Structure 1
Amino acid sequence: MGTFVNGFLYWIAKRGNGSLIVALDVKEMVFSEIELPFSHSLDILGTSGGRLHAFDVIYDEYELWVMDEHGKEKSWSKVLTLNDLADFDRPMSIVDEGKIVLLKIMIKNQKQVIIYDWLKNSYEVY
């Protein structure tokens, strides 16, 4: 499944041990590759505020990066590092400006969903 932002459809692709983003300009029907500002494993693409967001996974730490201008590697900026938030297993999605859905797997494979608002530095557990 792709992520649509500002006239482009984006997908995660793998190359060797790293990740990159493949973009389709839906108006021109032209594909391009977007290099990432990090060399780890890209986990999730999302959109919020009309910008593309990507999670970089470094062991048990997740970094949230935002691309301000399509295709410009220097337009990426790291906006958040998730390593000291309440226990969670992985981010699932970006749902709204500043909100991330996180998954926590508990005993006997029970699951909890955490909605984290990084702008307010608060979260709710469902």
Structure 2
Amino acid sequence: DPKDCKDCPLRNKCTKSKNMTKVIERHLWEEFREYADEIRHTMEWKEIYPQRKETIERVFADCKENNGLRFTRLKGLKKNQQNAWLIFACHNLKKMSLWRGKYRRKPSKNSINPPKYTKKDNFILEIAYIQ
């Protein structure tokens, strides 16, 4: 409120505005940044954060090292973006084929019923097109 700032001794440090108002601009997502910063200091986050290097960041490291994402051989943002998409699509296909081998269970000779799958197994089998 300009009335509060009118007689304030620190007004010159706070604002140089003639109408004695201060405008604070915040980024559209600043609220979410603050929320993420609060979460970052919780015990749960401290327990799960070290797993990033084994899961999420491992994908980028593998693609960078094995698929030539360290340097670019193409000119232009669009060509490089399409190249990266192709590399990550191939990476996902590789993961799906590994899942396919992992989740292909053969029934034992003594049992008549096929093996029981969990909900997660069924989802992975659906993705890998083996049911």
By the TM > 0.5 criterion, same fold? no
Bigger share in helix: 2
TM-score (norm: length of structure 1):
0.25
